[in-house]
Amino acid sequence: MSYGGVPIIVLKEGTEDTREKEAREKNINAMLAIAETIRSTLGPKGMSKMLVDTLGDTTITNDGAEILKALDIENVAAIMMVNVAKAIDTDIGDGTTSAVIFSSALLKNALELIEQSIHPKHIITGYKIATDKAIELVNEIATKISKDDDKILKDAAMTAMNSKDIAPLKDFFAGLALKAVKKIADEENTFAKVGNIKIVKAAGKSLKDSELINGVYIQKEKVNPAMPDVLKNVKIAVIRKKLDVVKTEYDAQIQIFKPEDIQGFKNQEEKILQDYLKIFKNMGINMIVNNKDISDKFGAYLARENIAAIKNLGDSDMKAVLKAIGAKQIDDLTSLTEDDLGYAETVKFEKIEDDEYTFFTGCKNPKSVSILLKGGLDKVLNSAEISLNDVLSVIAKIIDTQMVVAGGGAIYIELAKKIKDYANKIGGKEQIAVTAYALALEEIPKTLINNAGLDEIERLTELRAAHKTDADKWIGIDTITNTIGNNFEKGIVEPAALVTHLLKSGSELANLVLRVDRIIKASNASKTGFQP
């Protein structure tokens, strides 16, 4: 509820009211604590975190989004900050840690200004002015590329991997990821199609054995060993119906009075399954994909007719198969039409190490590809999968937007310099807030420097001094070689969209948190039940 922009608060018995300054401080401090948790993971020299779930399973990752998902956070403002990070993960696929570092720096600087008696409303206005200017500047200084510029696309993929465990194989995976994205590239929105790339984790000797496959792989074996190993020109029915002689679902209740009725009942059941079989045969269907069970007996019937089948598919496998073969899933077999069926040139059943897979190729939808991620340990595979998702998104985002900037802090140092200059032209109380915004931008290069164990003041001063003219805009730090130079030329590049998203969401969050002048917490408020 709000009145003239001022929130009206209704207090219930047992509620706790924390006023103005204290409320803000409490919120901002909770956010700073979250930022501290993930700050050390930023960049190539960032550290990983070991996440332990309630069952004791562990994942080792330095992916901001994954770490934030694992935190149990109660403070509402901190939850809002995590949501900002999740939003950048959804819209860009990378940059979560940076978004948290930047937003928390904006709020930390705001808190200091409030302590110097600058009213939050001036900070909000100053931040808004600075954000608009910074976004304008990114659009101005970002480098426009062609979506066929494979060198830059690959560089961006490798930059996204620099901070991940798969960095030693970045060249190999960047090539693989680029090929995969090119397969699904769409004139309008390639980013939205990244989901068509199915990552399948399989046992193997090393990650280096991973491969790109035109088609869909799912970890399922055929229902009956007598079914063919390879099928050609495959007409596929995707169904959601239990195919079981004993437990077939009946609509009506059946009453049995005489022993002969039992045989009659069994015959009737048998007849239903025979009818299903007839439907499949008449339509020339040679493969069944089912998300429910298929009994051994019915499996044997199918095998006898040379029809292959896989059963009990999970939701994500169902989705991937449906999309690839262009089928519609159906519940009522009697209404099955030609139109519902999917198609693949070949379906193959094969064993990789100890696991059985079904592999669909030459699908109706040629844009379906799988990355078969191979490796020995589950932890290695999981961490590689998380990183690869970031990489695929980054490539797709650049294909869609065709604008890139140099990483390793270059873009933030350049923006900070220009925003500081801009602040001088503004004057008034807002000027101080605009300068505070510029300093928050420097928090990203600062963290990269710190995480590399380098001297923060020395290197930051060096970076600032190196940005003399517009031609120096891409000078940043490379914390792999610990050198300062033109990061664009070194191939350290990222989507400009990542930076604009981070700028926008950071200041939106600051705006929200600064406007809160009270925390009202109902005595039984749960973390999801309370909305500011």
Ligand X SMILES: Nc1ncnc2c1ncn2[C@@H]1O[C@H](COP(=O)(O)OP(=O)(O)OP(=O)(O)O)[C@@H](O)[C@H]1O
Which residues does the annotation mark as catalytic? 63, 96-97, 390
131 binds ligand X (CB under 6 A): no
- For the bound state, the minimum distance from the C-beta of residue 378 to ligand X, rounded and expressed in Å, comes to 21
H helix or E strand, kind and range, residue 357: strand 355-363
CA angle 231, 235, 241 (to 5 degrees): 110
Q: Are 393 and 460 in contact (CB under 8 A)?
A: no
44 binds ligand X (CB under 6 A): yes
Identify what 290 binds: ligand X, Mg ion, none; CB under 5 to 8 Å per kind.
Answer: none
479 binds ligand X (CB under 6 A): yes
* 286 closest CA partner among 347, 353, 336, 217: 347
Site for ligand X in 488-527 (CB under 6 A): 492, 494
Nearest residue by C-beta to ligand X? 407
Contacting residue, 27, 98, 295, 511, with ligand X by CB under 6 A: 98
- For the bound state, the minimum distance from the C-beta of residue 275 to ligand X, rounded and expressed in Å, comes to 53
Q: Are 484 and 470 in contact (CB under 8 A)?
A: no
Q: Are 308 and 222 in contact (CB under 8 A)?
A: yes
| Tally of residues, the chain | 532
Q: Are 202 and 374 in contact (CB under 8 A)?
A: yes
480 binds ligand X (CB under 6 A): yes
- For the bound state, the minimum distance from the C-beta of residue 413 to ligand X, rounded and expressed in Å, comes to 11
414 binds ligand X (CB under 6 A): no
Among 38-46, 250-258, 276-284, 299-307, the segment contacting ligand X (CB under 6 A) = 38-46
**Considering beta carbons, is residue 81 or 294 the nearer one to ligand X?**
81
Contacting residue, 159, 196, 383, 511, with ligand X by CB under 6 A: 159
C-alpha separations of 366 from 215, 255, 326, 530 in Å: 8, 51, 10, 47
Q: Are 367 and 216 in contact (CB under 8 A)?
A: no
**Considering beta carbons, is residue 163 or 291 the nearer one to ligand X?**
163
408 binds ligand X (CB under 6 A): yes
295 binds ligand X (CB under 6 A): no
Q: Are 395 and 178 in contact (CB under 8 A)?
A: yes
CA angle 393, 50, 195 (to 5 degrees): 20
**Considering beta carbons, is residue 24 or 446 the nearer one to ligand X?**
446
Identify what 436 binds: ligand X, Mg ion, none; CB under 5 to 8 Å per kind.
Answer: none
Contacting residue, 23, 32, 64, 191, with ligand X by CB under 6 A: 64
Footprint of Mg ion on this chain (CB under 5 A)?
94
**CA 437/CA 27 separation, integer angstroms:** 19
**CA 460/CA 441 separation, integer angstroms:** 12
Compute the half-sphere exposure of residue 9: CA atoms within 13 Å on the CB side of its CA: 19
Sites of contact with ligand X (CB under 6 A): 41-44, 46, 62-65, 94-98, 159, 162-163, 390, 407-408, 444, 448, 477-480, 492, 494
